[in-house]
Amino acid sequence: MDLKYLIRDIPDFPKPGIIFRDITTLLRHPEGLRYTIDTLTEKCAPLGADFIIGMESRGFLFGVPLAYKLGIGFIPVRKPGKLPAAIYSVEYELEYGKDCLEIHQDALQPGNRVLIVDDLIATGGTARATASLVERIGCELVGFAFIVELSSLRGREKLPKAPVVTLVEY
Q: 58 an active-site residue? A: yes
- CA distances to 3, 21, 126 from 104, rounded to whole Å, are 34, 30, 17
* Phi, psi for residue 120 in degrees, rounded to 5: -150, 145
What pairing do the DSSP bridges indicate for beta strands 87-94 and 73-77?
Answer: unpaired
Q: Residue 122: which of 152, 163, 143, 102 has the closest Cα?
A: 152
Q: Is 161 exposed, middle or buried (0-12, 13-18, 19+ CB in 10 A)?
A: exposed
- Active-site option among 31, 93, 95, 102: 95
User: Are the C-beta atoms of residues 89 and 57 closer than 8 Å to each other?
Assistant: no
Q: How many helices (H) and strands (E) does the chain have?
A: 4, 9
- Active-site option among 21, 28, 58, 128: 58
d(CA 10, CA 148): 15
Residues catalogued as catalytic: 58, 95
